[in-house]
Amino acid sequence: MDPLLLPSKEKYTNEFVFFLNGKKVELAQVEPETTLLQYVRSTKLTGTKLGCGEGGCGACTVMVSHMEPETATIHHRAVNACLAPLCSVAGMAVTTIEGLGNLDDIHPVQERIAKANGSQCGFCTPGIVMALYAHLREHPTSTPLQIEEAFDGNLCRCTGYRPILDAARSFASITEDGKEDGKEDKRGDRSIMDTQGGCGGCNGGEGCCMTNNKSKDMAVSASCQFKYEPLDLKLEPIFPPFLMKHPALPLCLKGSRVTWYRPLTIQGVHELRRLHPGAKIVVGNTEIGIEVKFRGIIYPVLITPTHVPELNKIESTSTGVSIGAAVTLTRLRTFFEEQTKTRPAHEAQLCEVMLAQLKLFAGNQIRNVGCLGGNIATASPISDINPVLLAMSAVLTVGSDQGERKINMRDFFIKYRVVDLQPHEVIHSVFVPWPRQNEHVAAFKQSRRRDDDISIVCCCFRLLLQPQDNNKWLVDEAEFAYGGMAVKSVLTPKTSAFLKGKVWDQAMLEGAYKTLAEDLPLPPGAPGGMIEYRRSLTTSFFFKFFLGVTDALSPTVDSSLVSARDKSAATPFQRGPSRGEQHYQINKGDEPVHEPIIHQAALKQVTGEAQYTDDIPDPRNGLHGAFVVASKAHAKIIKVDPTKALAARGVVAFFGPSDIPGCNTVGPILDDEELFASKVVPCMHYPLGMIVADSQQNAVEAARLVEVEYEELKPILTIDQAIAADSYIPFHHIIKRGDPEEGFKASDHVIEGEMRVGGQEHFYLETNGTFVMEGEHNELIIYASTQNPTKTQMLVAKILGLPANHITVKLRRMGGGFGGKETRSIYVSAAAALASYRLRQPVRLILDRDVDMATSGTRHPFLGRYKVGFTKEGKIMALDLSLYADAGHSFDLSGGVMDRALFHSENAYFIPHINVSGRLCKTNLPTNTAFRGFGGPQGMIICETWMQRVAEFLGKPEAQVRELNFYKDGDETHYHQLINDCRLPRVWGELMQTSTYQTRRDAVTQFNQTNRWRKRGLAIIPTKFGMSFTIKAMNQAGALVHVYTDGTVLVTHGGTEMGQGLHTKVIQIAARELGVPVSSVCISETSTDKVANTTPTAASVSSDTNGMAVLDACQQINQRLKPLRDANPNLSFKDLVTRAHMERVNLSANGFYATPDVGYLYQDSGVGIGRPFNYFNYGAAVAEVEVDTLTGDHHILRADILMDVGDSLNPTIDIGQVEGAFVQGVGWCTLEELVVFPNGYLFTRGPSTYKIPGFGDVPLDMRVSLLSDAPNPRAIHSSKGVGEPPLFLSASVFFALRDAIKAARQDEKAGSKAEWFDMYSPATCERIRLACEDSFTAQFKLEK
């Protein structure tokens, strides 16, 4: 039936009108499958980015504004454009980052984030800007905390979030107590320069650098660089008057495969459901959009009820609240916030419970579009809301053109994702009764990350009590509902029956634990795993509820029911607004070097004008690629048949191993990887070939149609399996000093153990991508998001059988790299280059997030087995350490990663007798690769584990034992490099003082003594990080500098910009040497035809090497200009270079630098040759955490970081690197857990399943300092590199968590000596909870 000829009272139209950045858009033809993001980017508005495609990262955030017809109120919502169908914005106004402001007319939101150094790689920045802007438009009077919470749907991998939050809070207009903010520093985050004018470290007292007339120092908080004032709405664009007068019409938009209906009446919805029983109801598209993108499902008919009044009403009555099925979660949250202010206390419990769950439900952008009815109908077993509705005995109203019927929620969920809803029915509303007098309601949720994460277990308890004599209360009614414990949300009938008539006391509590275990069984191997943890949460949550109810009943209940130490378990942690301090020194005299200049691309990034690989416009004949990937972890390939794929729409070609003209087997070091697997699949999702089509969507869909026949082989998936099977990559390095056996004999004590360290996904916001264009006669130009242009050039040439001079690799910037684009990006470029070469057309290959994560490898998981000998004082005498790394299926850079782990296996400690060895385990997983730290963090956390164990064994303070073993000047490392200018003792001493470590240690002890179920932990951890590539040939760099006759300068160097500020620092270096302002120096791109034979941008030394190469080039030019300058001292630089040009002086120079005296060769004896590092970075961090021992949830209360970066080239850039590395490291050792199924399938392949730290995970109080008066004579302008060294300092959080767990275990085993317990990294909520052994965990351990 033609949808436009429906026998309906509603007259459907296909007139599609909306506004985009203030301009009216009318489209004659709309494809319902097109997302708002796809459309916006197709109009060359590329500032809005695709980060994940599932609404989990916020990179695609835009503002969608609409008018509520009933009240004529304009609403502004942040929306994920990657999920929002283009059809959904009909009659609305869309604002993208380009509509906010540009370089010529920048908006205050954009400007403040840029000037606060809130942008590094910049890929996430437009989405963050738009999330903040949309919040301020909708909530012009906000508190700092409300503004912080507006970011819960956005992620950033670079900055550590603090500078973004600083900038955002400057728009707050009221304080947390609701008072108007006069901006006299109400948030307590003052400029670090206090009123005495001190440098921040000594408050202007005796010896302060500022009172000693030194030409140094003004340390300023980034948040104090701009005026604090709210957004002036009078200056903001108005909602289009046309849309105010443009009445909503019933829409029918018919595409090639999907038809979209927007009825305006409930009758229209019923009629469409009768005519199309299989049609899907869409409001936010947050579920269906995922199914379409990642499962390839096509729904021919979609019906959106967003404009149906009956489905969008919220009605409050004396008995409860009726909520329309299409009401968005944001509207629902606003409603309950208002109701909380007016409802009686017992009824307000429902508001508080719903608000608590809604706050943690997905992210802000999802809540803005997702609706309650959709959440109910989806029937997710881990829904946050459904347990509340179940426990409250909510009643659904469903209807069709045959009438309405009522369904109690307890009867609605039938089995997994199946509900009591007929094909022609829709949910109209849900009625939730208000709690009664003496009724108690509470809800709980535990997830891997607090914000924007699905539940592991969630529940709601409803309890009706009746008062009795003698301060007793009887249970009259109990209804408990849980999510995450079965294939659907479930009630606990045995527990409800048991509780009825019971006295509210300890006996009742103990009995309920047993019945809950019966109601909520989880067999071993149940979907979701974490069996012990999930089961312990069921009773832990009930215990929390018991404590809360008992406290609420006080003083009408027996006071002995709950001890004072137990009470804090009932009180949820209330996170306030975060704060930060940054202390640094500015050295005068070398301007603009050492000055805190903002990132050179920051303004382009905040306005969306910074161009990334996928932003390069498509030429007319441009094609798109998609990998065909293996579905087995280890198998012989019998047959690959692309026949069906080649017949699919838009498909141009399929390329496999036989289509490669050069060499299929290549590698960055060893040639042990195939571009496309030809005979054997080494891991799941390994590329077997590539489909090329006229669009990315067509390519992706066709790739799924390629048929592959396998003969399965047994896979090896873990380090332990590899060791058992003797599956190693040929590589075995040893470093040895002294005689460990003699050292053990001389020791008072010897301990042995092991430490396991998990991997980590890079999660750069810009996935791997490349764009290849053909040049003349076999020439190719490759635009790639890569850290390694030269290696890309060489391997592409090898694969295609072409000379390297036919391949040019270019890039402006990456949207993050962190090592993940040092080698793994090359294969993406090679595949696209192959297609472009064979087809003679431009080809673009941009990996979807799930494909990128499943194919590109991670940080190496490690196993360390140690034997340590030490004296009774704690002095380490001997170490024997065996390290095993999971290399994946090939060598890649694993040898270098293991080498750095071996070099850093003693962290900061002198060990006289040591033997460390490293093996690379070969597994059937994607090959693991470089990641910030490059093996160093794994080696150091293993070291700190056994150091912690030594201290606990001796019963001595950990900080004391660590300090006792520090290196000092004159010592030699175990690889025989002399330690000189060792700043660790100074760093340690200053941090101990400025962090008030000992005072806080006493306070932590006091807190733990008075709280049974909440524990705090404190730890201080040092780092010593070696700087340079350990391979001699890689320590070199080149540069090309052009000076033009107008006095401007163009610099090209071999390094790549990924957000770390390399280009900014190089500009400062060039400007200082040539004596021109930074505005006169430009870096446009990195290109292999400008600077050849470059090394990868890695090892944190790119500023050292490329900066020196640029300096060399500038000095050559200065040397040529010197005679003219001497003869004409008063000429401006412009006039000088013009004169030089007339005199035929070469104004271009090729600079070069090679780091002296570095390079290390391993020897079989264990005593290598050479010096691996140019110098060392030193640092230390103190972290304080609070742990909920009943759930494993934790908060970082404070982090103090002191880092030695020499004389910083750019303090704010370096502060940003320290903060970003620290927060990324927090993810590595706490949140970020990789989950691989037994068949080799990577489960954690997107933001919905893999959790990096979010805005709400940063330390509440973060204080970062750069060591002052610490010049480094071995690098440019006395600086030090900074990218990698601070990451390991996040281990202070790991060991602070361990400290808190130790306190909990001591409580459980009071009176007995604390025993060592192994805790592996990452310290997830599951690991934390199960380590806090108590009766709740014991109940379920017994069932093993």
Burial 1048-1085 (b: 16+ CB within 10 A, else e): bbbbbbbbbbbbbbbbbbbbbbbbbbbebebebbbbeb
What whole-number distance in Å separates Cα of residue 693 and Cα of residue 626? 8
Which pair of structure tokens corresponds to residue 766? 């810009």
155-175 residues labelled b (16+ CB within 10 A) or e (exposed) = bbbbbbbbbbbbbbbbbbbbb
Catalytic amino acids? 1284
Distance CA 693, CA 699 (A): 5
Partners of 1287 in beta bridges:
none
Return the SS3 of 157.
Answer: coil
CA separation for the pair 573, 1130 (Å, rounded): 66
The SS3 assignment for 1050 reads strand
Angle at the Cα of 837 (from 831 to 838), degrees rounded to 5?
95
Q: Tell me how far apart the 2 most distant CA atoms of the chain are, in Å.
A: 107
Q: Are 21 and 48 a contacting pair, CB within 8 Å?
A: no
Q: How far is CA 115 from the centre of its chain?
A: 23
3-state SS assignment for residue 1181: strand
Burial class (CB in 10 A: 0-12, 13-18, 19+), 384: buried
Neighbours of 1156 (CB within 10 A): 9
Cα atoms in the 13 Å half-sphere on the side-chain side of 1228: 32
Q: How far lies 4's CA from each of 12, 252, 254, 872, in Å? A: 6, 7, 9, 87
Measured CA to CA, the distance from residue 85 to residue 79 in angstroms comes to 11
- What's the token pair of residue 774? 């053909």
* Residue 710 in tokens: 């396998």
DSSP string for 458-527: EEEEEEEEEE-STT-EEEEEEEEEEESSSSS-EE-HHHHHHHTT-BSSHHHHHHHHHHHHHHS---TT-T
Separation between Cα atoms, residue 909 and residue 3, nearest integer Å: 75
Task: Answer for the pair 1205, 1177: CB distance below 8 angstroms, yes or no.
Answer: yes
The residues near 100 (Cβ < 8 Å, ≥ 6 apart) are 107, 109, 110, 129, 130, 133, 607
If you search the block for the tokens 């000429």, which residue do you land on?
1131
Contact 63, 79 (CB under 8 A): yes
Neighbour-count burial for 324-337, b at 16+ CB within 10 Å, e otherwise: bbbbbbbbbbebbe
Which residue is listed with tokens 């498909």?
A: 651
SS (H, E, C) 1213-1231: HHHHHHHHHHHHHHHHHHH
Q: Give the phi and the psi of residue 132 in degrees, each rounded to 5.
A: -65, -45
Task: Please name the amino acid found at residue 1091.
Answer: V
DSSP track, 684-748: TT-EEEEEEESSHHHHHHHHTT-EEEEEE-----SHHHHHHHT-EEEEEEEEEES-HHHHHHT-S
DSSP-assigned states of every residue in 996-1045: THHHHHHHHHHHHHH-SSEEEEEEEEEEEEEES-SSGGGSEEEEEEEE-T
Phi-psi sector, 677: left (phi>0), alpha (psi -120 to 50), beta: beta
Q: Is the peptide bond before 592 cis (omega within 30 degrees of 0)?
A: yes
**In sequence order, what DSSP letters do the residues of 878-912 get, joined into one string?**
EEEEEEEEEEETS-TTHHHHHHHHHHTTTTTB--S
